[in-house]
Amino acid sequence: MDDFLVSTLDPDDAVLLVWSSLCQPDAAAMQFLQDLIKTRVAKLQLENLERLLQDHSVLEETSMRFSLVICGWPNPFKAGTNNLELLSLFSNCLHPGGRIIARETMELKEQLAQAEKACHLTGFVEFNPVSTDPIIFTASVPSAYALGSAATLPWTQGKVSDVWAAVDAEAANDNMINTDALLKPADLVKPVSCGQDSTVNTGGQTKKRACKNCTCGLAEEEAKAEAAGTVATAAAKSSCGNCYLGDAFRCSTCPYRGLPPFKPGEQVVLSESFLSADV
């Protein structure tokens, strides 16, 4: 695998090499790895994994400084180490087009798929699995844009024009549905608002009446008003015999006060409110 690692190096690379104390690499292996990389790149910086995870600010000053991150050498990281937290740190310190080479031990079948998902969620593209035992993969950040830059959407205007061309073709072949033909004559009749027809009420004022197919609630209100009214002709008695002539001839306590004149002997419907005292 040292040959594979060497093949990925470029003379202009600025490399971040991350190692883990939990993997217990020996001093000779660490020194050999650094010498191997240092002679083939422009810059090499060594960082400890546990220190990075404990203090993220270690890499804040190195934002977009590196072109390559190598993690999992000289010994592979433990399974699941290359997660969202770690990969997000690496994606921030890589400049556009930067790459990552990661290695960790294999324990679960879905481990490689989880690593690929974590790469995509942290901004990496071109995920490439190299080995499954141990797991080795490479990925890179897009080179076309940097953090905060704009990008043109991939689709073109030609596809949109093609869609409308198909619509025009359908219309030319008379395959389009005429929506006016779907309407019935009854649908074209302007609806009449409920309560437009008016009659004169007992007070001489106009009163709205509910239409036949009332849907606004006026019919329900009229039904409640009719239910509240009671026939009280037996309880209402005229003491003077002039109540039918109108309010001009009615006393202050007349039960017919407020009603229009009526014929003598005509049955009059009074609500309970007319039969109760105001005070």
Contact assessment for residue 240 and residue 264, using Cβ atoms and an 8 Å cutoff: no
- Identify the sign of the CA torsion 11, 14, 20, 24: positive
- pLDDT in the model for residue 151: 59
- State pTM to two decimals: 0.51
Nearest to 104 by CA among 134, 147, 69: 134
202 and 127, same domain (yes or no): no
Q: Categorize the per-residue pLDDT at 10 as very low, low, confident or very high, splitting at 50, 70 and 90.
A: very high
Spell out the alpha helix ranges (H) of the chain.
2-7, 27-38, 49-54, 84-93, 111-121, 157-172, 185-188, 218-228, 272-275
22 and 111, same domain (yes or no): yes
CATH number at residue 134: 3.40.50.150
- pLDDT in the model for residue 178: 77
122 and 208, same domain (yes or no): no
Boundary (domain end) residue, out of 94, 123, 140 = 140
Task: Cite the annotated binding site by residue number.
Answer: 194, 211, 214, 216, 240, 243, 251, 254
Contact assessment for residue 66 and residue 101, using Cβ atoms and an 8 Å cutoff: no
Contact assessment for residue 115 and residue 77, using Cβ atoms and an 8 Å cutoff: no
Other C-beta atoms within 10 Å of 260: how many? 13
pLDDT in tens, 39-49: 999 999 999 99
Residue 156 belongs to a domain = no
92 and 210, same domain (yes or no): no
Q: How many domains does the chain have?
A: 3
Taking residues 183-191, report their average pLDDT. Answer: 81
Q: Categorize the per-residue pLDDT at 234 as very low, low, confident or very high, splitting at 50, 70 and 90.
A: very low
Q: Could you tell me which residue, 243 or 152, shows the higher pLDDT?
A: 243
Rounded-to-integer distance, Cα 3 and Cα 276, Å: 109
134 and 214, same domain (yes or no): no
Residue 182 belongs to a domain = no
Domain range for 218 is 194-227
Residue 83 belongs to a domain = yes
Boundary (domain end) residue, out of 140, 173, 206 = 140
Residue 185 belongs to a domain = no
Q: β-strands 135-140, 94-104: how paired?
A: antiparallel
Residue 188 belongs to a domain = no
Task: Cite the annotated binding site for [2Fe-2S] cluster by residue number.
Answer: 194, 211, 214, 216
131 and 219, same domain (yes or no): no
122 and 45, same domain (yes or no): yes
13 and 130, same domain (yes or no): yes
Task: Cite the annotated binding site for [4Fe-4S] cluster by residue number.
Answer: 240, 243, 251, 254
Which range has the top average pLDDT, 11-15, 151-155, 217-221?
11-15
Rounded-to-integer distance, Cα 174 and Cα 58, Å: 69
Show Cβ contacts of residue 86 under 8 Å, excluding neighbours closer than 6 positions. 49, 52, 53, 71
